[in-house]
Amino acid sequence: MATIKKEENLVYNETLSFSEKLFKLRQPKNLLMPDKIEVQTFAEEFLQVLFPHFGKKEYYSPEEIGAELVLLKKNLLHILKPLEGMVLLSAEGITETFCSKGPEIHDMLIADANSILRGDPAAENLDEVIVAYPGFYAIAIYRIAHEFYLMKVPIFPRILTEYAHQLTGIDIHPGATIGNSFFIDHGTGIVIGETTIIGDNVKLYQGVTLGALSVSKKLADTKRHPTIEHDTVIYSGATILGGETVVGHNSVIGGNVWLTESIPPYSVVYHKSEVKVRNAKDFGEEPINFVI
C-alpha cells in the first residue's frame, strides 16, 4: 500500500482550513459508501413486506406485494451503486442475489420466531414474538446483513447490524455464522463476534459474550471467536472466548461462566459463588452503605 504523504492527508494537513477539509471529505472519490439512512430504511421496508407486524401498509393481492418487491429491488440497486468500485459483483448482481434469498430469509425467521415461542413461557403467541421481542428483531436484521456480508459488500452489512445494536443492545457481527431456530431471550448486552459459528437450536440469554482472546489486528483474517454446537443453552453473563474454543452440542453453560477452552458434548459448566446471609442486628453499624 502506497504511503500517504502528509500534505495529502486530510487529517494532518494543517494548511487546509477546517471547511476545506470537510469539503474534500464530501467529494465522491472520498465517500465511497452507501447512505446510512437509506440502508436502514431498506431493511425496515424489507421486513415490512415479510411481516405485517412491522408496518401498517395493506396489500390486497399477491400482485401488489410483487410490485412492492420490485420497488425494493430498485431501491437496493440505487443504494449499492456507490460501492460498485469496491465489490466483486455488480450492483445488479448483488441485488438479484439478495432478492432471490427472500424466501429463505423468511423461512429462517419464522423458525427463529417459533423457537422463541417454544422456549419462552412468557410468550403467548407468534405475533407477540415478531412484533415485540428485541431478540427477534436483532436476528432479523442479522439475517439480512449476513447475506450482504457473504457477497463481500463492504460497510452495508455493518450499518445494518449496528442499527439493530443501537435499538436493541444486541451486537451481532454480520459475519457470524448462525444456524436455524436461533433463540435470544431478553438479549441486552449480548455480543457475537465476526467469526463465531453457532449451530441449530441454540439459546442465549442476556449479557452473553462470544468473543476473541486477543484484539490484535494481525489476527483479523483468522478464526477468533468460538464455535457453539447445536442444542446448547448459554445463560446470562457467560463469556466464551477464542477461535479454537468449541462448546460441544447439547451443553449447558451456566451464568457468569468464563470459558476459554473446549468442552465435550452434553457438558454442564457452571460458576459457583458463595453467598452469605446474616442478620443486620449482628453488626454494630450499618453493614453496607455504598454510594455509587
DSSP state of 6: G
Q: How many domains does the chain have?
A: 2
pTM: 0.87
Count of C-beta atoms within a 10 Å radius of residue 43 = 20
Look at residue 104 in the predicted model and tell me its pLDDT. 98
161 and 187 assigned to the same domain: no
Look at residue 8 in the predicted model and tell me its pLDDT. 46
Would you say residue 292 lies in a domain? no
95 and 59 assigned to the same domain: yes
CA neighbor of 83 nearest in space, from 40, 33, 43: 33
Residues recorded for the chain: 292
Boundaries of domain holding 159 = 32-170
159 and 232 assigned to the same domain: no
Look at residue 88 in the predicted model and tell me its pLDDT. 82
Q: In the numeric block, which cell numbers belong to residue 279? A: 442478620
191 and 73 assigned to the same domain: no
Q: What is the mean pLDDT of each run of 10 residues along the chain (292 residues)?
A: 43 72 74 87 97 91 96 96 85 96 98 97 96 97 98 95 98 98 97 98 98 84 95 98 97 96 97 82 64 55
Last residue of a domain, one of 148, 170, 192: 170
180 and 166 assigned to the same domain: no
CA neighbor of 112 nearest in space, from 234, 228, 201, 208: 201
Would you say residue 290 lies in a domain? no
Look at residue 289 in the predicted model and tell me its pLDDT. 61
Would you say residue 113 lies in a domain? yes
DSSP state of 3: P
One-letter amino acid at 17 equals S
Look at residue 285 in the predicted model and tell me its pLDDT. 65
Would you say residue 58 lies in a domain? yes
36 and 163 assigned to the same domain: yes
Would you say residue 10 lies in a domain? no
Look at residue 29 in the predicted model and tell me its pLDDT. 59
Would you say residue 284 lies in a domain? no
- Please report, for the domain that includes residue 240, its CATH number: 2.160.10.10
Last residue of a domain, one of 170, 185, 208: 170
Q: What whole-number distance in Å separates Cα of residue 146 and Cα of residue 16?
A: 40
166 and 36 assigned to the same domain: yes
109 and 205 assigned to the same domain: no
Would you say residue 288 lies in a domain? no
205 and 250 assigned to the same domain: yes
Look at residue 288 in the predicted model and tell me its pLDDT. 61
Q: What whole-number distance in Å separates Cα of residue 120 and Cα of residue 186?
A: 10
Residue with cell 449480548: 190
Q: What whole-number distance in Å separates Cα of residue 197 and Cα of residue 223?
A: 10
36 and 154 assigned to the same domain: yes
- Please report, for the domain that includes residue 144, its CATH number: 1.10.3130.10
Would you say residue 138 lies in a domain? yes
Look at residue 56 in the predicted model and tell me its pLDDT. 85
156 and 230 assigned to the same domain: no
Strand 252-253, strand 268-269: pairing: parallel
Look at residue 23 in the predicted model and tell me its pLDDT. 85
57 and 116 assigned to the same domain: yes
